[in-house]
Structure 1
């Protein structure tokens, strides 16, 4: 005769506890919830309760991982920058495909910001009201300028690009242009470039700025 279970199915189900999330999983859930909400909701309209509920945690538990909504945004900005830097690692102009090299690099930034549109726009807006977000954005901008400066100097060193204004000055202007152009494309603010044209336009201007011999004064 088969041995009978000592408890009913309902009793057995109540006796099994669902696995608890680890600390890393809770933090990841908060970040994922924020990313998801930013696809359709302005950052200013998202509450701590929204983030905690979406992550499956309590409000007090949220504060164990982040001190504020802006702290979450800073973490997302750091991750956005890290993803773009990882994606362009090893990409650089080559002697045989100069334009394609720059297009690959700029395309990575455009694709990364397009894929994380909500995060990018929230960070771009928040920097005007929060010093810490602005400092994080400025660190990212400095990193992109440093990368561009190194690329221009490398092209000059191998004789592909002419000498001219300091490479860093050109890099600052080009990246500032990128920021405004991409922001306009992502928001639809006018005047703005359509998504299918913005990359080609930016690459054209970068090529002209880096490889055209400057006029003599």
Structure 2
């Protein structure tokens, strides 16, 4: 057979819808890191993704909707990492460390999205509603974990599991956001999981947490 004719410009493969959507999201996360949410416009997102402004609106209705899509991805990543129950013979500290580290790992890997979502909650009812649902989901998962640990005799009876879960997750939210945004007061991001774990262990298992790590350079 004769060789197929070379494809001209008109025959070049065009980006698919998924490619364009991905390009918008990647552009958004990069610009959030560089400029912050308030300084990013729809024109910036379209230009960075290599599309026109009208084409942008085919995929997203606003930059707010782009932020919500990025937030959905981060939450899904955190949930995928988060253990639901303890493995056979696993120490309680290992289970709770996995829960806290999953959230910290996902949100710290997408620090700009986390900070942007926290800032947008002050002005955007849609972002507030979505984040409220995220926190409700984390609270429900934590409450189920606490009930399972109590049922297997690993954790003693205590406050209602849901109330305890809401308190613990609200603490995590505030502490982690202050770490990512660099706003005070905040704790050392390098040791934040250990510090949160110590409080969770006392709250869930009524036991002390692991000893604090010695800071670089020795005790103060």
Counterpart of 1:41 in structure 2 is 35
| Superposed counterparts of 1:1-217, under 5 Å | 15=9, 17-88=11-82, 90-94=83-87, 95-212=89-206
- The alpha carbon displacement at 1:18 in A equals 3.6
**Deviation for aligned residue 1:186:** 0.9
Asked whether the equivalents of residues 93 and 99 of structure 1 are also in contact (C-alpha less than 8 Å), the reply is no
Distance 1:69 1:15, change over 3 A: closer
SS in 1 for 2:103: helix
How far apart are 1:80 and its partner, in Å?
A: 1.1
- The alignment's TM-score, normalised by the length of structure 2, stands at 0.87
Are residues 66 and 106 of structure 1, via their aligned partners in 2, closer, same or farther at CA, if it must alter by over 3 Å?
same
CA drift of 1:96 comes to 3.2
- How far does residue 128 in structure 1 lie from its aligned partner after superposition? 1.5
Task: Provide, for residues 145-178 of structure 1, a one-character-per-residue CA deviation record: whole Å limited to 9, x for no partner.
Answer: 0110001000100111111110000000000000
Structure 1: gaps spanning 5 or more residues? 1-11
TM-score (norm 1): 0.88
- Tell me the C-alpha RMSD between the 2 structures: 1.6
The total of aligned residue pairs comes to 201
When structure 1 is superposed on structure 2, of 179-188 and 201-210 the one drifting more is 179-188
Shift, 1:92, TM fit: 3.0
Structure with higher Rg: it is: 1
- Structure 1 moving runs of 4+ over 6 Å: none
Over 3 Å counting, the alpha-carbon distance change for 1:68 and 1:16 in structure 2 is closer
CA contact (8 A) 1:52 1:58 kept: yes
Change over 3 Å in CA distance of 1:212–1:14 after alignment to 2: same
CA distance in 2, matches of 1:20, 1:128: 39
* Other structure's SS at 1:40 match: helix
Which digits, 9 at most, give the CA deviation of each residue in 1:170-201, with x for residues without a partner? 00000000001101111121111111111100
What is the DSSP-based 3-state SS (H/G/I as helix, E as strand, rest coil) of the residue aligned with 1:108? helix
Structure 1 contact 92–102 (Cα < 8 Å) conserved: no
